Structure formats: structure tokens, C-alpha cells
Amino acid sequence: MDFDRAISQNLFDRAQQMSREAHRGRTEAGFGPPPSSSSGMIVRPMVSAPVNPPDGLARGMSPQGGVHAMTSGIDVNRVASQISVAFQTTRQHINQRNDTATGEATVLDFRRIASGLPPERRPSAVSIPFGVPSEGKVPSEKETLKPSQGDMNRFAEMKEHLMSVGEIASAYNTPINPEDLTTSPGLSKEDAERLLALHGRNALKPPPEPSKIWIYMTKLMDPFHILLMGAGVLCFVAYAFKTEEIMNLIVGIILFIIAILGATIAFFQDLKAKSMMSSFAGMMASKSQVRRDGKAQQVEADEIVPGDVCVVKMGDKVPADIRVIHCSNVKVDNSALTGEAEPQTRGPTSKQKNVLEAENMLWSGTMVLEGDAVGICIGTGDKTLIGEIANLTAGNKPKETTIGKELRLFVIRITIIAILLGVICLVLGITLNPAIDWQGALLIAISITVANIPQGLPSTVTTCLQIVAQRLATENVFVKQLQTVETLGCVTVIASDKTGTLTQNRMTVTHIWFDSKIQVCDALMAAESGVADMTTPSGSKVLDILTHCSRADFDRSEDAAPGTILGDATEAGILRYCQGTHDALAARQEYPKIFEVPFNSRNKWQLSIHKAPILPQGGGAGEGAGAANGNGSTPPPPAANGEKESAGAGVPPAPAAAGFSSASAGYGAAVLFLKGAPERVVDMCGTVLDNGVAKPKDESFNERFTRAYETLAGKGCRVLGLGYLPMDEAALRGLGDLEQLNADKLREGLLAQGKLVFGGLVALMDPPKVEVPAAVGACRTAGVQVVMVTGDHPLTAQSIAKQIGIIDLHAEDVNERQAGASSGTPLRVNSQMGGKVCRTRVVDRDWEPTGVETPFDPATGGAFGDCEALVIHGEALNKFREEHWASALVKTQLVFARTSPQQKLAIVERMQLAGHTVAVTGDGVNDAPALKQANVGCAMGQMGTDVAKEAAAIIVMDDSFSSIVTGIKEGRTVFDNLKKSMVYTLMHLSAEILPVLLNVLAGMPLGLSPILILFVDLATDMVPAIMLAYEGSEANVMDRPPRNANSDRLVTLPAFIWSYFTGGMIAAVFALGMYFWTFESYLGLSASELVTAAHKYFLEDGGKLDTDPDACMNNGDTCSASTDNGMFRPAVAGRDHDYDFQMYCKGDNNLCIPPSTQLDVLHIVQASWFTVIVATQTFNWYSSRTRRESIFKLNFFGNPRLLAGGLFSLMFLVIMVYIPGIQEVFNTGDVKLQWVFGVAGGITVVVVSEILRALRRQNEHGFASRWLFW
């Protein structure tokens, strides 16, 4: 099915939904404080009105629309081949072109800007320093050139992220207030309207969508449909030559109806799929906040223009590409673009040369998870990053599926066979049969050609694929393109994204280190020893830090799903763990927060101060003061403080067994909690928590801390340090007015004194999904390699790969390069497993190829032959030569990390060039190129972005990797069943062709009429063939390697040999025996007497009239009135209604056979031939249920639909040959003992098949298996 045009509709409108509702658990904490409304001096550029952004700055970025606008039609196909330029290639360009430096020392080439500026503003020099304002007037529309389409390379030349706020405002002619950027006046209404008219709405330009007529015609031009219509045309030609043969006209019309009906079904399936995909897109925000005319305004997202001052806050989708000029604790979700599960911090400055990695850029379509920001719009619509990706998607043609290729080859082969037989019959008919002229020979040749075409096969194939697609739907796999169902079955490599596909895309606490022990917190780590006990003195304090030092909270709104957390991914993961361990919300009520410093990229820590409950008289305050001075242990716990409030709606219940709370800690009047980068937290601490007691730090602790930190980081975890400081009233008063307290004062004061107590480390990671390890194991058993291709860090990727089985778990820590060693240094092997060295090599970003390029040598394994597993950094991939690719791709344990979309695409292409059939799984926009390039792309239905789902051919609705394994099994099964159906269908062709050949070459009466041939193809054989699609999987379907898509064909030469000769001739031989027996027993005619008999006799038109109508016999003998057995009407000698036609007379026994008797026997013979075919095929469809196992091991009722199909065929046969009215219409007659030939033929097929299956089981590669059986 052609879904590439269905992909276009609303594609990048949906791309804006990169964070699905399923991500709500990792989103927004509270809004930042509202911007100050204080007035200040308004700084305006030296120009009088806004101007289009300089083309040299953005290389063509212009106000063309943002992703908020509802758009139509962007084809994802070219994403798969060119989106990469937007990331990896441009990063290389940026690193080469941007020499670095800021301020006046940095210069910007304005030559390209000149084309977009009026003459008075065009620079006379090659470059001008930053910070030097330009003077001039606003260009008119005629003076301003619209930016060209350009390409993704222009992002390599962008400098906006390196400009100061004043420079960016001047470049885009945006009035700002430098004293309070949040109150910047922004564009005027008139300027915004003019720019909107000049550059169009903030909407992506859709490619032209083909008409429905064009789509329908593409369906009609399917090779199978062309074959059927070609056969129909031949029937019309035959009818034109002989108009009295009305059956030719009927057959031709039926063939055209079949083709048109098949195309119509495919057409409406296409439309249905379009509607299905449109339903995936949820409602999107249609408005955005900007500042215009000095005030904040809500405008339609498609009205944003470059130069607009845009305001975004927590929960907003970024409406355009924005350069941040002011922000407050902003974190954005870029996971769909980069594959990183952690939120990315944003600020007003950036030192990154690469604009795509700049911390002061907000990209259109990403989500603001926390905080608020003010920025200047620098790109809209087609000139956004995602817009450029969209522009690069149009034009690529869809790839041919493996089953599509098989069907096309089959059509070519069957057409060649049919035409070849037709030509042979034409030549032989003219040369060997003098009674046939060239027109008659041509008609016979047409009949042979049409008879050799399995007319019911297109419907059989489509229905089989549809049945499997429906079966997969029950397994939560939605198939957009029917033919890709089978492609899954021949997949040899699954290139899988990590985040959201192999992992949960949800940060989870996995380990906690305290009391010098790493303890496990996550059930997925069950293989490791030790489960964290948070009820110990140290554990309870660590839990307090995690519980209180957090900005995350449960969403308690009425429409919130249970357990939904407002906050970034890390905070949400910690709160989820705390609530699962004790009543975290009740504990927070005991120690209310009175001050906090949120995490930011400068401090790299988060701090909060909490007021303690009232302590018993004479106790805790003094001890708290002592603890505040770092002199010893904390006091004993105070009494509980009243009842706890209800957690409220949306909050999961705390475990009933939790019998402790924060009140047990006895911190004093207040307590300061701190968490952040471990190295910074530990530097602020003078003491260390050890079994509930604060002890001074020493060198031994430093060694334990370093070892634990490196171990957890080596697992790919994000590690945070934890600290706390109990405070008495005096210490609390010493902080002064909390409203005036800030991070700088704390950093220079209290935190610099080393008074904190170090509590421990907490490690988080995005853990694997529970079902993934078993699914990966099943893939290995099935001969399918699972390769991880992720944008995440190599350590994280390697850790997950070991947990799920992509890399051998026992290879942990055995293949690391020696610290400080060069790339050419041999690997250090640290351990051996079972006598075999297990080695994993990390090819990091500093890796350099050595020596000159040499051809890949499979014997040595090439450049990486010294290891069994590879973890390859994306930057190392850029240095790969052919030998490195060849050496890497032969590894069975392979992980690619820090990969860009371009590199993901290149990896897939390289695998395909190596002969692999590649499936790609993913959920992000960064996965779309690879999803589209893959032989079959599988997108996640829940966590996946709509761009990924549009690019993919299959959508896994439950996001379960195991569902893909189910798809592989069903794909192999559908190929097996299609092979069974096609071989079963082809088996009757020899029996259909033989009577035509005997009629043409030997002049014998036609043993099978054209209408009965059609009934075999479209009725008696088609229904069982379809029902074979319901056959279960072969016993070894997931224990054998995938089929080779380049050699293991759907209908192979052995299949043709079996269908036409070994098995197919069985039915033909028994039908021929029935043919001779019927003529002999009914009319006494031997085989030799039937030769040439059809030249004048046994014809539906009565044959040719004699010159002398009174002549009864050629030799003048008298004729008997009837045959000896008296079965037929007596023929009256002389002129009667029968005597006008040719009477067959035998001189040796005075036997005359009148024309009516001739036709009666002929109809019985044809009905009997039809019966032999149907009876033989009845045994054949049961024998076709298995290719390897004995049919006697099968459950007879294992496929009840097939039994029903076989029963239908027999009932149809009975109706055709025994119902009187039907007999006259279709020229059939009663069949009696002829049944014996059909049953004998069927039994023979079963016996021969069983013998060949037994030989196959004994020797898979023997002569019988390879050439005689399918």
C-alpha cells in the first residue's frame, strides 16, 4: 500500500507533539516567578522599524511559520536520506568554520547579508565587529529579498547563538529593554503585519498531494492486476475472432472485475489508513505569547514573525526557532530530536560553536518542561530546523517491499511460462493440426495462456496479508502497509533506538550509595545483590534528602492521570521512588519548605531549607546547633507532629509497611538539604554520614567515594551527591532575611565553610523495559541481531545493552581500553568466562584510524578483530573507512552511541549494502530518517512522536519490543503460508493445461471447459488457499535463521518443479486416466480412436455438416440406434433434429453416436475432470499445511477455517455436477465412479509429499529436498 502520500498530511503539525501525553510523568514543576514589570530605558535598534532577519546570519532563515500552525502534507521520505545534514554534517561544518571568540574580537561575514539589506545598510568591508550598530532605514518589500530555500547547511553558518543580546536585537530590528528584557516592547502591530504579508504565515508549505484518481490508478497498475487485465484482453480478442463463443467474453469480463475489485479494495484500505493516522494527532495549542507594542499578547501561532519577542513557559510547545535572551530555570525536552531522556537546561548565553548544541536556542516543536523564557524569533515555518527537515523530505520514491519484489518476480515468471506455452501451442496447432486454421490456433493459444494464469491468486495474497495484519492488530501491532508484514519475517538485523524503545523513557532510581555500600533500588536490577534498606539511620536521612530537596510534585488536578508528576525527568524519578518507599508527601508537610535555590547549570546543585516541627523541650535545638557546626551526631527523634493531610487525588498510596518519617530524624529548628553534582556536593561537606553518625572525611572515604562514583557512572547512570545540614535557631537566624538570600551568598558563605554532612549518592537511569531482555534473547534464537543505535552517552548505552542482552552481561568491564592509552594500544583483558576471553571494545570519540586503508580480511576480523563486542561513538564513525565499517558490521554484539540522524541513516544503509534486511525501531524525530530508510520501520505508538509514526510502516501500539518479535514470527509465518497457498494454487495448472494440449496437438475432445477452469481458480481452490493463511507457525519458525530475501524466493524453482511436474502431474495423470476410462466405458472408444476425433465430433456446435446429410457412416454400414448400455437417448435414423449435426460412426461394430450423445458424454468427462482436480486438491490442501513435519502429527482440527474452506469446495463441486438446473447452464453431467480417480490422486499426493518431507528431515540439503519439494 502506498502510504508515502498519506504521510504528508499534518506531518509536522504532529511533529510539534514530540512529548506525548505519556510523558506527563516527567514534565513541569511550578511556574517561575512572573517577570518584573519595572520600567527601564527602552533600547531600540538604529533603524526605524523591523527588518527581515539578515540572510547571512541565518543563511536564509526567515519568518515562514512555526510548528504550532496546522499544516498539511509533508512527506517524511526524504527525511530518511537528508535530515542528517541538519545534525552531524553541520556540526562538522560549524567546527571548521567558527573559529570561536566573542565580543569585538569576533567578526561576522556580512557579504551574504547584503542581498537582503538596502544599499545604505550594506557593508563596505568584508566584515564588521560585533557590537557595532548599523544605521539606516527599514527596507521596503521591493528592496528586501526573500531568503532562498537553501538547505540544512545554512545552520552551519548561523551565528545568532554567539551574538550578544544587543547584537541579536539589532540584527533582527527588535526593540528591547536591556534593563528588564521581560518588558521589552517588541515589534509594533504594523511591523508584524508587514512582515507577515511579506513572508507568509508561520506554516509549513505542503507538497502537492496526488488526486484520488491518481492513487486509484497506481493501485490498478499493480503487476497482478496488469496480468489479469492482460488475460482479459486476450479473452476479448478471442471473442472478437469467434463471437459465438460467448464464454470468452464472460471470462474476460470476470478477469477485469477481479482486477478492478482488487484495486478498489487496496484504494479504500489506503484511505482508511490515512484516516487512522490522522487520528493519532491530538489537539495542539494554536496560540502563543509574544510582546508587541510594549505589552504581552496572545496571538495565533501562525502569525509569529522573525523579530518577535516570544514568551514561553512551562508546558508550552516552542512555536518557532527562538534565540533566548532571558530565562528562569528553563529545561526543555529535546528527547525526540536527540534521544536523550534527560531534560536540557537553557540559558541566555552559549559557548558552543555548533548552533544545534547551543544552550541559548529553543527549537521549534520542543517542549518547555520547566521555567519560563523570553527570546527573539529567528526562524519560522519552512526556515525552522524542523521546517528544513520537512523541505528535505519531499520527492523520494517508496521502496519496494520484499513480498512486493517476490510477487513482481512471480508475475514475470508466470507470464513468461504462460506466453511460452501459448506460443508453443500456436505453432504446433498450425503445423500439426490441419483442421485448425491460424485463427483457431490463435484462439487455442489464448486459451492456454489464460489457463496458465492463476486468476484467484491476487485475491488470495491480499486476503492472506490482511488476515495476518488483523491478527497482529490483536497483538498491538498496527500495520500501515500490508506487504511489510512479510518483510518482518526476513529481517536479519533490528537497529533499535534506546530511549522509549528498549527503555521506559522514564528516569528511575536504580542505586543508592551510603554507609560505603552500593544498594539496589530497582526491581530490574534483581541480578545484583543487595536491596536498599532505607529504614536504617543512614538510609532514613538519605531518603529525607531525596524527599524534601525536590521541586517535583504530583499533579492533583481532576483530569490528571494517577501518578502523573509535575517536574523534570530526574526529579520525577526521585519522587516516584520516595513515594514508593514511604509517604513522601506527608513527610514534606512535617518539614515545610521555607527557602530554595533551584538547580542551574552554573551552580550544578539544588538547595532547600525546611522548617522543622516543634521539638521536645530541652533537647534538639542545642544538638541541632552542634550538628550545624559539624561536631557530631544528630539528636534522637522527636515525637510525631499531629495528623498528616490526605495526599489528594492523583497521588499513588504510600506502602503500608513504611513505619518511619522525617520527624524521626531530629534535625533541629531547621534543616538544609542539598543535592547536585557529586564532586561539588562532597567539597561542601566536612563530615560523612556513617551508620547514622556524622564522621570527619578522610582519605579512606575519598577513595571509597571515588570508586563508588566511577562504578555508578560506569553503569551509565546519572549520579547525584546528597548532603544535609541540621540547623538550630541561631544558625537559621545567621542566614539573615531569607527573601534577600540567594545562591551567591550561600556559595560564598555557609556552603564554603564545609559544615555539611555528606549523605551518599543516588544513581538514576532510564531503565530497560521488563520484557526487552527476553525479546532480545528470542531474536538471537531466531538468528536476528539486535543492534542499539542511540543518541545517548556510550556508557549509558553500553550499560543498557548489557542489561538486555545485546552485549554479553559477563563481558562487563573486560574490554576497556587502558586509561591514557592511544587508539592503537591493545585492549586489556580483565577476566575470562568459561575459558573464553570475553572482550568489549569502546571506540570512543578520540579514536583515530591507524595506518593506510587495507581491504577487510574476514579471517582476522579487520580493524576490530580483537574483540567480540563493539561500542562505537558517533564522532568515531565520522573517521571510519571501508575496512572499519566492514570490521564493525560483522560483530554480533554492536552498539552505536551519540549518533546523529545522519549517522543512524548511514548505519542502516551500510547494513543494507552488506546484505541485511533491516528493521528499525524508534520513537523520535531523530529516528525518522532511519525508520524511512529501513526495510521495515517500527514506531512506538504511545511514546512515539507523530513524525516517527508517519515515517514507519508498522506502529507498535503498546510500545513493547516483544511485540516486534511477535511481528517477526508472524512475518515468517505469513511467508510460509503464502508459499503454501501459492504452491497449492499452482498444483492444479498442469491438470488444467493438459486437456487443452491434448485437444490442440492430438485433436482429442476437450476434457475441461473454460468455465470450469475459471471455477477452479476462483472458487474451489481460492477459498482453501485463503484459509491456509490461518495456519499456525511451523514448529521451527523461530529456531531457524531468517530467509535470504535475495535468494529464498516465494516460488522457487523446486516449487515450480513440484507444482508443474512432481506433484502437479499427479492430478493430471489421474485425470487423464479418468478421461480414457470414461470414453471407453461409456462409448467403447479407445484412446487411439479419440485422436483427431475432436476435428469433427464432440464439439459444442455439433461439428461440421457432411456433404451428404443422409450418410450415416463413411463406410455405408448400418447404424445401431444406441450404445449397448442404453444410457443415452436413442438416435433416430433419417432426418430429425439431431441429424443436422455430425454423427460419430464406428464401422467395426456398427456403432453410431449421435451428436446429443457425444455432448452428454463430453459434459460428463469435463465434469469428471473437474471432480478429479477438486478431489485431488482436497487432499492437497491438507498436505500443504506443513513443509517439514509429518501431517499425521498435526491436529486435524487445528485450522477449522481450512476445514470449512475444504468443505465449501466439495459442496461447490456437488452443486456443479449434480444439480439438474446447474448442469444445463454450465454443461456438466453426473459423475459416478470417476470419483475413484480423484481420491486415488489425492492419496498419491499425500504419500509422495510425506516421502519427500521425511527425506527433508533426514537431509535438509539432499537432492529431494533441494529439487523435488518446495
1040 assigned to some structural domain? no
Name the residue with cell 523541505: 391
Give the mean pLDDT of 232-242: 85
Q: Give 1234's pLDDT tier (boundaries 50, 70, 90).
A: very high
pTM comes to 0.70
Q: Distance between CA 769 and CA 962 in Å, rounded?
A: 10
- Predicted confidence (pLDDT) per residue in 281-310, tens digit: 333 446 789 999 999 999 988 899 999 999
Q: Give 747's pLDDT tier (boundaries 50, 70, 90).
A: confident
873 assigned to some structural domain? no
Whether residue 1255 contacts residue 1262, with contact meaning beta carbons closer than 8 Å, is answered with yes
Q: Distance between CA 902 and CA 918 in Å, rounded?
A: 16
- Per-residue pLDDT for 75 more than 50? no
Angle between helix 1200-1218 and 1155-1183 (nearest 10): 180
Identify the pLDDT of residue 1213: 94
- Per-residue pLDDT for 15 more than 50? no
- Three-class secondary structure of residue 119 per DSSP: helix
1139 assigned to some structural domain? yes
Q: Is the dihedral of CA 137, 141, 143, 146 positive or negative?
A: positive
- Per-residue pLDDT for 654 more than 80? no
Q: How does DSSP classify residue 653?
A: P
Residue 1208 CB contacts under 8 Å (≥ 6 apart), including other chains: 1023, 1024
Whether residue 663 contacts residue 640, with contact meaning beta carbons closer than 8 Å, is answered with yes
Identify the pLDDT of residue 860: 73
Give the count of domains, the chain: 3
- Per-residue pLDDT for 921 more than 50? yes
1143 assigned to some structural domain? yes
Identify the pLDDT of residue 116: 33
> Which cell numbers in the block locate residue 986?
499452482
- Predicted confidence (pLDDT) per residue in 924-944, tens digit: 777 877 888 889 999 888 877
Answer yes or no: 844 catalytic: no
Range name among 444-453, 547-556, 871-880, 996-1005 with the lowest pLDDT average: 444-453
Q: Distance between CA 255 and CA 230 in Å, rounded?
A: 9
Q: Which helix (H) or strand (E) holds 788?
A: strand 785-789
Tell me which range, 109-113, 124-128, 433-437, 946-950, is most confidently predicted by mean pLDDT. 946-950
In 3D, which of 1162, 1180, 1209 has the Cα closest to residue 1015? 1209
413 assigned to some structural domain? no
Residue 191 CB contacts under 8 Å (≥ 6 apart), including other chains: 49, 50, 307
Tell me which range, 436-450, 470-484, 969-983, 1169-1183, is most confidently predicted by mean pLDDT. 1169-1183
Q: Give 397's pLDDT tier (boundaries 50, 70, 90).
A: low
Residue 1032 CB contacts under 8 Å (≥ 6 apart), including other chains: 973, 1198, 1199
Q: Give the residue from 765, 794, 819 where a domain finishes.
A: 765
Identify the pLDDT of residue 1156: 81
Q: Which helix (H) or strand (E) holds 1145?
A: strand 1144-1146
Residue with the larger pLDDT of the pair 731 and 398: 731
- Three-class secondary structure of residue 1192 per DSSP: helix
Q: Note down the domain range covering 517.
A: 508-765
Residue 736 CB contacts under 8 Å (≥ 6 apart), including other chains: none
Give the mean pLDDT of 316-321: 89
Q: How far is CA 554 from CA 345, 608, 660, in A?
A: 22, 19, 21
Q: Give 1035's pLDDT tier (boundaries 50, 70, 90).
A: confident
Tell me the residue length of the chain: 1270
Pairing relationship of beta strands 477-479 and 954-956 according to DSSP bridges: antiparallel
Give the mean pLDDT of 435-441: 73
Identify the pLDDT of residue 66: 36
- Predicted confidence (pLDDT) per residue in 507-527, tens digit: 889 899 999 999 888 654 444
Q: Give the residue from 391, 420, 441 where a domain finishes.
A: 391
353 assigned to some structural domain? yes
Give the mean pLDDT of 1023-1029: 89
CATH number at residue 385: 2.70.150.10
In 3D, which of 1044, 1058, 994 has the Cα closest to residue 1266? 1058
CATH number at residue 1212: 1.20.1110.10
Q: Distance between CA 1151 and CA 1161 in Å, rounded?
A: 15
Q: Give 657's pLDDT tier (boundaries 50, 70, 90).
A: very low
How many other C-beta atoms lie within 10 A of the C-beta of residue 820?
A: 6
Q: Which helix (H) or strand (E) holds 922?
A: strand 918-922
Residue 1200 CB contacts under 8 Å (≥ 6 apart), including other chains: none
Name the residue with cell 463463443: 245
Whether residue 1269 contacts residue 1253, with contact meaning beta carbons closer than 8 Å, is answered with yes
Q: Distance between CA 1071 and CA 1238 in Å, rounded?
A: 7
Q: Give the residue from 765, 784, 802 where a domain finishes.
A: 765
Residue with the larger pLDDT of the pair 832 and 868: 868
Give the mean pLDDT of 662-669: 60
How many other C-beta atoms lie within 10 A of the C-beta of residue 833?
A: 12
Using left for φ > 0, alpha for ψ between -120 and 50, and beta otherwise, residue 1098 falls in left
Identify the pLDDT of residue 503: 87
Identify the pLDDT of residue 56: 35
**Nearest-5° Cα angle at 533, 528 to 535:** 175
**Please, what's the b/e burial string for 279-296 (b: 16 or more CB within 10 A of its CB; e: otherwise)?**
ebbeebeeebbbbbeeee
Range name among 432-441, 728-737, 771-780 with the lowest pLDDT average: 432-441
1151 assigned to some structural domain? yes
Question: Which residue among the candidates 321, 333, 497, 553 is catalytic per the annotation?
Answer: 497
Q: Give 863's pLDDT tier (boundaries 50, 70, 90).
A: confident
Identify the pLDDT of residue 522: 65
- Three-class secondary structure of residue 519 per DSSP: strand
- Per-residue pLDDT for 28 more than 70? no
Give the mean pLDDT of 1152-1170: 88
- Per-residue pLDDT for 953 more than 50? yes
- Per-residue pLDDT for 189 more than 80? yes
Q: Give 140's pLDDT tier (boundaries 50, 70, 90).
A: very low
Q: What percent of the chain has pLDDT over 70?
A: 73
Residue with the larger pLDDT of the pair 345 and 293: 293
Whether residue 579 contacts residue 585, with contact meaning beta carbons closer than 8 Å, is answered with yes
Range name among 475-479, 501-505, 1124-1128 with the lowest pLDDT average: 1124-1128
CATH number at residue 538: 3.40.1110.10
- Per-residue pLDDT for 18 more than 60? no
Q: Which helix (H) or strand (E) holds 268?
A: helix 246-278
Q: DSSP assignment of 572-585, as one string?
A: HHHHHHHHHHS-HH
Pairing relationship of beta strands 493-496 and 785-789 according to DSSP bridges: parallel
Q: Give 1042's pLDDT tier (boundaries 50, 70, 90).
A: very high
Q: Which helix (H) or strand (E) holds 921?
A: strand 918-922
Pairing relationship of beta strands 508-514 and 287-292 according to DSSP bridges: unpaired
Whether residue 1091 contacts residue 1051, with contact meaning beta carbons closer than 8 Å, is answered with no
Angle between helix 1155-1183 and 961-986 (nearest 10): 150
Whether residue 141 contacts residue 198, with contact meaning beta carbons closer than 8 Å, is answered with yes
Whether residue 332 contacts residue 366, with contact meaning beta carbons closer than 8 Å, is answered with yes
Long-range contacts of 294-302 (CB under 8 A, 24+ apart): 294/183, 294/185, 294/186, 300/69, 301/66, 301/68, 301/69, 301/202, 302/65, 302/66, 302/68, 302/69, 302/70, 302/201, 302/202, 302/203
Pairing relationship of beta strands 756-765 and 508-514 according to DSSP bridges: antiparallel
Residue with the larger pLDDT of the pair 1144 and 1135: 1144
Residue with the larger pLDDT of the pair 122 and 464: 464
Give the mean pLDDT of 889-906: 87
Pairing relationship of beta strands 832-833 and 1151-1153 according to DSSP bridges: unpaired
Q: Give 208's pLDDT tier (boundaries 50, 70, 90).
A: low
- Per-residue pLDDT for 664 more than 80? no
273 assigned to some structural domain? no
Question: Do residues 381 and 530 both lie within one domain?
Answer: no
- Three-class secondary structure of residue 75 per DSSP: coil
**Please, what's the b/e burial string for 210-226 (b: 16 or more CB within 10 A of its CB; e: otherwise)?**
eeeeebbebbbebbbbe
**C-alpha gyration radius of the chain:** 40
Angle between helix 88-97 and 901-913 (nearest 10): 120
Q: Distance between CA 40 and CA 437 in Å, rounded?
A: 104
Q: Give 50's pLDDT tier (boundaries 50, 70, 90).
A: very low
Q: Distance between CA 297 and CA 307 in Å, rounded?
A: 15
Q: Give 1100's pLDDT tier (boundaries 50, 70, 90).
A: low
Question: Do residues 387 and 517 both lie within one domain?
Answer: no
